[in-house]
Amino acid sequence: MSPTNLSVMSDTRALPERSAVPVEETWDLESVFATPQDWEAACQELLAQLPKLAGYRGRLKEGPSVLLEFITLYEDAARLMGRIFVYASNAAAVNAHDQEAAGRSGQARGLFARFGAAVAFADPELVAIGFDTLQGWMDETPELQFLAHYVDQLEKKQAHVQSGNVEQVLALVSDPLSALHSVYSSLTGADMTFRPATDSGGNTLEVGQASIESLRTHADRDVRRTAWESYADGYLGLKNTLASSLLGAFKADVFRMRARGYASSLEASLSPNFIPVEVFHNLIEVFRRNLPTWHRYWALRRKLLGYDTFHVYDIKAPLMEEKPLIPFEQAVDWICEGMKPLGEEYVEVLRRGCLEERWVDRARNRGKRQGAFSSGSQGTHPFIMMSYADDVFSLSTLAHELGHSMHSYYSRLHQRMIYSRYGLFVAEVASNFNQAMVRDHLLRTLTDKAFQISLIEEAMSNYHRYFFIMPMLARFELEIHGRVERGEPLSADTLVGVTADLFREGYGEEVVFDRERIGITWAQFQHMYMNFYVYQYATGISGAHALVQSVLADGEVAAKRYLDFLKSGGSRYPLDALEQAGVDLSSPQPVEAAFADLSALVDRLEGLLG
């Protein structure tokens, strides 16, 4: 196989409006509901089901047949709720200027809260029935045996299940508390403006959420510098509002923690997912111990780029004048080739999703949300939002999100509704697995030196995001949640200061330190609104690295174990599912091994560039 053309990427100087992007670059939300009117009709259908669900309150103790009736009705309603939510939230994510889509998204969140309130009685009633009785019902009634894992989970967390009335209030309050994330999304996606970036010739380039990543990797240092400064300054200009929003979200986390009787926000996040808090602390300890690897990488980059000083905006500077130009269709081909060890079915589903079923919204348009994500629900195919820029970084992001999407595809195909959702801890293993498999394939087959360097740069960029930025933000979360729990005074300047101090340690003496612009990093990640989510990127990349080595070494046997892991969805405990796939993430060893891989990539890059 020969590499694709190497060329200097063309600049996107102005982002188009959403209405101007080609339909083939957008996802097919019409496959969920043909029209907004059909969506509204589904909302009315769900509203009609809520009294029926609530009508089972106080009745579950009547026996296994009543419990089975309720679970069946619940799964049908949850499937409809999922489709309603996906349609509304996805439309809002790609165009923050679409007020009708924003309205539907808010309506869906409200409906989700009402749905949760309608069924909030179920867990408290199951606890009250007693686990011996429930076990007897499952033994006597084959149709209920699928509930075994759910009941086991409930027994393990019963101390944190509240009364039916309290559970109902906790479900209802999820809607107003989620408004904090909506404020952030509207502020950063629609209302926040950025100065244009400027190249060395004085030409301007638009800075926006859909273009910032391509500007950060631009060959022109002036573009990178002015884009990075403009982006940071846009957030700094609204730091007080952003801080109020985030601190409100952290206070919501603490409220939920106390309402459920957990000792900390960290425990309240990890314990319901059956992850020991030691997993988090082990990660942070290994991360801090390996920071010298990052310091060595900064020094190598400065030397290879020939700079006297090294700045944050140089971390993704291309080391070669020419960058691989990778059209979307080529990226799909290479991803399919990289995933061949998982079998023909996996590859065929992935290819069809990308090229025929329009899973991927890859357009770069004004008002599109930052970053990338995979979504969907049972009853829909997977959906991916990203801003594809025809480069190796976009190829990697696409591979990552397809890892999520294929995980969801198999989980929804093989599990009942109540197990079709899997924990976030395992989610980031599947996504990073795809990235690592594709990268390994391309490193082995595309031997062109310039392309090899680009692939290693992408790998280091990926590690930088997941093995540097995310652990830093996890430490920030731990510190600020702790201060909220203790009732300490907090402000935007506090958040900036804590972030700056953490990154000062991470960057060491090799990176020129712009305290305010680096300190606002906390505001640039909506992941902060997902209680202790970000640490799982680092555990995920560690688990993925171990599983890739297993599949490449053991072939079909390991591939089958991995596919079984994808198919298991939420029907197993996360650490058990991963151990059966071939990696023990309760141990710090996989994280240490991933850092060793990162160090080896630094060595390989140094060798390629002499």
CA dihedral 95, 96, 97, 103 (to 10 degrees): 100
CA distance 193 to 352: 37
Count CB neighbours of 143 within 10 A: 13
β pairing state of 197-198 and 323-324: unpaired
Phi first, then psi: give them for residue 373, nearest 5 degrees. Answer: -160, 165
Q: Would you call 40 a catalytic residue per the annotation? A: no
CA dist., res. 590 & res. 585, Å (int): 7
Q: What is the 3-state secondary structure (H, E, C) of 527-561?
A: HHHCCCCCHHHHHHHHHHHHHHHHHHHHCHHHHHH
Q: Quickly list DSSP for 318-372.
A: -SSSSEE---HHHHHHHHHHHTGGG-HHHHHHHHHHHHTS--EE----TTPPSS-
Tokens of 482: 């702790």
CB within 8 Å of 153: residues ≥ 6 apart = 274, 573
Residue type, 518: I
Catalytic residue among 125, 167, 229, 401: 401
Long-range contacts of 549-555 (CB under 8 A, 24+ apart): 550/582, 550/583, 551/341, 551/342, 551/437, 552/341, 552/440, 555/341
Residues annotated catalytic, as ranges: 401
